[in-house]
Structure 1
Amino acid sequence: MPSFSTRPPVLDLIGQTPLLELPFRKERLRIFAKAEFLNPSGSIKDRLARHIIEHAEENGMLQRDSIILECTSGNTGISLSLVGAAKGYRVKILMSRTASIERRNLIRHLGGEIELFEPTQGYATGIHLAQQMAENDSRYFLPRQFENPLNAEDHERGTALEILRQVPGQRVDAFVSGYGTGGTLTGCGRAIKRAHPSACVVAMEPAESAMLSGEMPCCHGIEGIAGGFVPPLVLSAPIDQRIKVSSEEALTMTQRLAAEYGLLVGTSSGANVCAALQMARMLGPDAQVVTILCDRAERYYSTRLFEASRHVDAFESSSPVASNSVGMPTESVLCRS
């Protein structure tokens, strides 16, 4: 009989993503972008999901009948569902009704259960609901992604060290990231600052909801970041500067990354690149500015990111099929013998 490893192989696909050098010829600038959309579920959140679940297992916090319960805009829910499926745990995700339908479908496809809520107070609504559910049922395990120090720790010991090994000359002049939970910004910021004390750690946030800049939370179109409150993890991030990016700027850059670089990424990635280019412009053409490409584009098909494509689909669907002289369709003709 063959011997089988007890570790699910899909977990070994997490991390060690490439660092891409992106030349922006029109701007005469370049930046470096960590391709986190290449993680197995399609986002950077695979890292925290694996780390938190494996830590819970090692410390006896998970039983075979445990249910992993988390509030998320979607990416963490997809990642927890992937890890849960691989390890045999039930996963229940609390999601805002405003999250894209593709994220819900991916969670369900991986066996996760979903409960939708009205985000009257942003993420805080779902976080409170998760805490109430856990108080009433001991089977629930809460990863607590917004406050769990393991989230930042994984990026500090993993993502950031990968960046420092991959960047030319192991030099980082600035690190730019938005924040959903704050784990990437805090963890990578700490490690990069430790290696390069003069490096600038930059928090990107939506111009319409620039809470770190003292503004009130408001609606914006950059899904997955700035969810209506400042997460506890962000409060310990070594932030030197804040850059605002509008939803429109993020959308335009995301479409440009696809059209000019072949990078199928989500809107938060476009926003990160916008902010990184601003930093590169400030620091000069030789500066090494690093940012994150957070997730893949497919989970945004129902959003404005793919609006133009949907209009083309609708037009083609409504157009009559061209026919030849005998009334047969002129394309996609399948002949069977």
Structure 2
Amino acid sequence: MIKKATKISNGVKNILNTIGNTPLIKIGKIYAKLETVNPSGSIKDRMVKYLVEKAEEEGKLEPGYTIIEATSGNTGISFAMISAVKGYNFIAVMPENIGREKRKLMKLFGAKFILTPENHGLAEAIEKTRELAKKYKKVWLPRQFENPDNVRAHQRGLGQEILREMEKIDVFVAGIGTGGTLMGVAKALRNKFPRVKIFGVEAAESLHQIEGISDGIVPKILDFSLIDGMIKIKSEDAIKMAKKLAKKQGLLVGISSGANVLAAQKLSKRYKKVVTVLPDRAERYLELW
């Protein structure tokens, strides 16, 4: 007997409605939010969507505007994707050592990018955005490293999801980056679990290959009073773990995911319920492997 077909869903309005509500997976003793399933492939979709919609509501971003942002890659890809959907122009400003895969992804979404000297890091890229902004009448600078809405995006999104998915949590650990993920989740978790421990992850070397985890600047939105400790991870070890996650878990994740998992595993020796994030996909770093 043939069953009647079920009613077909009308689907989501557009690709932006698929951002967030990512799966929480278990890897050995630890738990991790799989942020690679966001439409552009990284956790940055959450923050960028929130910032853009907030700017639109406040009248700071209107049709015909150009968005200019300094980025180590993933934020630029997210802005490029969302700009494509909403009809904005986007210019990414980034150090010249940022991987070619990330540049190609931005270009596919129709973005333009400007490269700054590698040895000056993101500080030079941030300064360049201010200089470029003077050339446009209709321009918006998100300023992710100092914008409190970066924190709110994760406090109201990722943090709330973790609270719904975990009955108890002892530790949350993630890369420092812009500070948005770590600070936002920390604030969300501490509202329910005041004793939860928050650990940041950073690269062990000053010259490292873990893009997006240690950007060479101290973000203004970073509140060290919310952090209980820091864990340093070597680039070589992070890459090895990312490869291991592919071969043993079927997870094609980036180098920062490898670093986060290593840090979480270290903490799981002392704490029971440890949660981290897998920020982005592996294809952005293949030239390093």
The separation in 2 between residues aligned to 1:152 and 1:71, in whole angstroms, is 17
Aligned to 2:21: 16
Contact 1:254 1:266 (8 Å CA) reproduced? yes
Aligned to 2:131: 132
- The equivalent position to 1:254 in structure 2, one of 221, 228, 242, is 242
TM-score by length of 1: 0.80
- Aligned CA distance change for structure 1 residues 159 and 262 (closer, same or farther; 3 Å): same
Question: Deviations for 1:222-270, whole angstroms, at most 9, x for unmatched residues?
Answer: 1122111111112356101111111111111111100100000000000
Contact 1:185 1:237 (8 Å CA) reproduced? no
Contact 2:25 2:31 (8 Å CA) reproduced? yes
Contact 1:189 1:237 (8 Å CA) reproduced? no
Which moved further from structure 2: 221-230 or 86-95? 221-230
- Indicate whether 1:200 and 2:205 are aligned: no
The separation in 2 between residues aligned to 1:294 and 1:100, in whole angstroms, is 16
TM-score by length of 2: 0.93
- Aligned CA distance change for structure 1 residues 237 and 21 (closer, same or farther; 3 Å): farther
By relative contact order (CA 8 Å, sep 6+), the higher-ranking structure is 2
- The equivalent position to 1:295 in structure 2, one of 277, 280, 283, is 280
Question: Deviations for 1:262-299, whole angstroms, at most 9, x for unmatched residues?
Answer: 0000000000000001111122xxx1100000000111
SS in 2 for 1:129: helix
- Indicate whether 1:267 and 2:267 are aligned: no
Q: Percent identity?
A: 44
| Structure 1 residues not aligned, in runs of 5+ | 24-29, 209-217, 307-337
Deviation of residue 120 (structure 1)?
Answer: 3.1
| Equivalent runs, 1:1-337 vs 2, <5 Å | 9-23=14-28, 30-167=29-166, 170-208=167-205, 218-235=206-223, 238-283=226-271, 287-303=272-288, 306=289
The separation in 1 between residues aligned to 2:153 and 2:98, in whole angstroms, is 26
Contact 2:201 2:213 (8 Å CA) reproduced? no
Give the partner amino acid of 2:286. Y
The separation in 2 between residues aligned to 1:57 and 1:198, in whole angstroms, is 37
| Structure 2 residues not aligned, in runs of 5+ | 1-9
The separation in 2 between residues aligned to 1:236 and 1:85, in whole angstroms, is 36
Size of the alignment, in residue pairs? 279
The separation in 1 between residues aligned to 2:176 and 2:80, in whole angstroms, is 22
The separation in 1 between residues aligned to 2:213 and 2:171, in whole angstroms, is 20
Contact 1:34 1:292 (8 Å CA) reproduced? yes
Which moved further from structure 2: 134-143 or 38-47? 134-143
Contact 2:64 2:87 (8 Å CA) reproduced? no
SS in 2 for 1:131: helix
Give the partner amino acid of 1:273. V
Contact 1:8 1:87 (8 Å CA) reproduced? no
- Aligned CA distance change for structure 1 residues 264 and 57 (closer, same or farther; 3 Å): same
